[in-house]
Amino acid sequence: MSARDEILARLRSALEVPRRDEVTEPGDVPRTYQRADDRAEGSDPAKIRQLLVKRLEDYTATVHRTTEAGLPEAVAAALEGAASVIVPPGVPEAWLASSDLSVTRDDGTAGPRALDRIDAVLTGCHTAIATTGTIMLRSDDLSGRRAISLLPDLHVIVVQADQIVLGVPRGIERMGEDPTAPWTMISGPSATSDIELSRVEGVHGPRRLHIVIVEPEPEPEPGPAPDAPKTAPTSQETS
């Protein structure tokens, strides 16, 4: 055995059985905090949606609240002023039914320069976390690849009511559905500040963020009780 082979053999042998290090060995960490909001997750969904709206508006995002029937009009309002939009391949055509602009369905070939020339991007999302106002995008046919969510100046995201959760633990739990996928988390429009605290928007992503929240159709209001059916008089009543 050469000296080189002997050294490599010793290295392999040493790596096979790592020695326990009490300093760096992770201890048992209680994880009960991850379930702290379980009960609240099942509380009034309308209140959770309202909390999400508040957080998003705190971040200067623009929120549009609509129902499924009004979704095309809400998307058109969010895209107002844009002449072109790029969408992931899985975005339904119905979302753009009321929009009059040039639509590009992303096939993965557009590079940074081409994406920078497009005014807006329209995507769905995977999860929205109410307490932090965070929108989670998974790299799939509905949310699209990360590049299209970063380069256009305007990002419009459609959030369905059943995609909204209250807390971060539940959001992380939902990420476990596809832990190896690329994930993008968005909390408000892109903004940064220099050492003098001068705020600049749009440096690291879209300068404008519009969130379209699709809420359940309102329950119909109860109407007046129907009149009791009239019955024909009996023979005793007519005698």
Range with the poorest average pLDDT among 39-43, 55-59, 63-67, 183-187: 39-43
What is the mean predicted confidence (pLDDT) over 130-151?
95
177: confidence class by pLDDT, cuts 50, 70, 90: confident
- For residue 197, the model assigns a pLDDT of 78
Q: Which tokens go with 95?
A: 């979302």
- For residue 144, the model assigns a pLDDT of 95
229: confidence class by pLDDT, cuts 50, 70, 90: low
Q: Is position 227 within any domain?
A: no
How many CB atoms neighbour CB 139 within 10 A? 16
- For residue 91, the model assigns a pLDDT of 97
Q: Mean of the per-residue pLDDT values for the chain?
A: 87
Instruction: Classify 46 as helix, strand or coil.
Output: helix
- For residue 233, the model assigns a pLDDT of 60
How many CB atoms neighbour CB 114 within 10 A? 12
Q: Is position 4 within any domain?
A: no
What is the mean predicted confidence (pLDDT) over 144-164?
95
Q: What is the DSSP letter of 158?
A: E
Whole-prediction pTM = 0.76
Q: Is position 51 within any domain?
A: yes
Residue of 169, 168, 154, 162 whose CA lies nearest to 211: 154
**pLDDT surpassing 80 at residue 178:** yes
Q: Is position 235 within any domain?
A: no
Tens of pLDDT along 8-20?
A: 888 888 777 666 6
What is the mean predicted confidence (pLDDT) over 34-39?
60
Q: Is position 150 within any domain?
A: yes
Residue 189 vs residue 33, higher pLDDT: 189
202: confidence class by pLDDT, cuts 50, 70, 90: confident
Tell me what percent of the residues of the chain surpass a pLDDT of 70: 82
Instruction: Classify 36 as helix, strand or coil.
Output: coil
Q: Is position 89 within any domain?
A: yes
**Number of independent structural domains in the chain:** 1
Q: Is position 88 within any domain?
A: yes
CA gap 135, 126 in Å, rounded: 8
Residue numbers of the domain that contains 170: 37-194+201-214
Residue 118 vs residue 222, higher pLDDT: 118
- Kindly report the CATH number assigned to the domain that includes residue 144: 3.40.50.10420
- For residue 13, the model assigns a pLDDT of 81
Range with the poorest average pLDDT among 5-14, 75-84, 178-187, 192-201: 192-201
Q: Is position 174 within any domain?
A: yes
